[in-house]
Amino acid sequence: MTSPDVDGEREVDLARWRRAVVNLWWLPVLGLVLGAVVGVLYSFRGSNTYTAAALISLGQPVSPGGVLVNGFGTNPRAVSEITSSVSAQAEAANRADMRPGALRGRVSVSQVGTVSGAGATRSAPLISLSVTGAKPKNVAAAANALADIVVGRTTASYVGVKISTFRQTLRHVTEQIASVNARLAAITAAEKASKNLAPLDQLVIATQEDNAETRLGNLIAQQETLQQQLAFATQVESARIVTKAAAVKSSPRSKTSSLLIGALIGLLLGAIAAIVVDARH
């Protein structure tokens, strides 16, 4: 039994298709033109989309002995869990004047500048929190609201106590400095008038002045230390928003790409139509 010549039949089909496309050339050309037009029209379809991204630095708490403390708040995964939660999205949507559930599927979180090696354990992760939507004002407000929620929930509670203590102590030291300065002003005035006093009284005034200046110096040193400790606690140990979110228009559909894709699809459909029409004759 003789086997069919498959290659020969394939060559005949290809030749017939080629002849159909050549004879009915206007169908592929028409498809190309119509496809290009449809592609351009498609590029104008749809509303503008905006994206707002906030940059967050997760805190790195330190124990009283200076040892890094790792926990929930230092894990970048925590940000994804928080921002995807119904409660956080509902709160952010409410603060951004958006309907409940408007943020579902529109929030993305990614880690920026990941560090590997020995430095990875000592670096505070940077997190990019993005929100997309149709209204730029609402999108930016929602991103910033979510960023605030992340900062509040990832900062260790004991870091908050530490910051509160530093601020209270710093306020007390500042009040003491003001009191000592007032006392020094009074002593200085008394010293100017002490020329008519007895030597022993002048010595008493000078001693009081020395004591006040020494006390003032100690208080200023204590103030500087507290300011440094407070800055470290707020800027390093606690999470913070590095850059607030601002809405920017997302990249629109490319008219050139839409035209080329539409033209290619139209050309193929026109060629298929030519082959079908030729086969029916």
pLDDT of residue 72: 73
pLDDT digits (tens, 9 = 90+) for 225-270: 999 999 998 888 888 999 999 999 876 556 677 778 888 998 888 8
Q: What is the Cα–Cα distance from 42 to 161, expressed in whole angstroms?
A: 57
Q: Are residues 175 and 225 in the same domain?
A: yes
* pLDDT higher than threshold 90 for residue 147: yes
Q: Are residues 137 and 264 in the same domain?
A: no
Q: Are residues 106 and 232 in the same domain?
A: no
pTM of the complete model? 0.60
Q: Which residue range(s) make up the domain with 225?
A: 160-237
Q: Which of 24, 28, 14, 103 is nearest to 266 (CA)?
A: 28
Q: Are residues 109 and 147 in the same domain?
A: yes
| pLDDT band at 173; cut points 50, 70, 90 | very high
Q: What is the Cα–Cα distance from 130 to 23, expressed in whole angstroms?
A: 55
Question: Residue 179 falls within a domain, yes or no?
Answer: yes
Torsion angle defined by CA atoms of residues 39, 43, 46 and 50, in that order, rounded to the nearest 10 degrees:
150
pLDDT digits (tens, 9 = 90+) for 90-145: 999 999 999 988 999 999 999 986 655 444 455 678 999 999 998 999 999 999 99
Weakest mean pLDDT among 49-63, 151-165, 245-259: 245-259
Provide the 3-class DSSP secondary structure of residue 240. Answer: strand
Q: Are residues 152 and 54 in the same domain?
A: yes
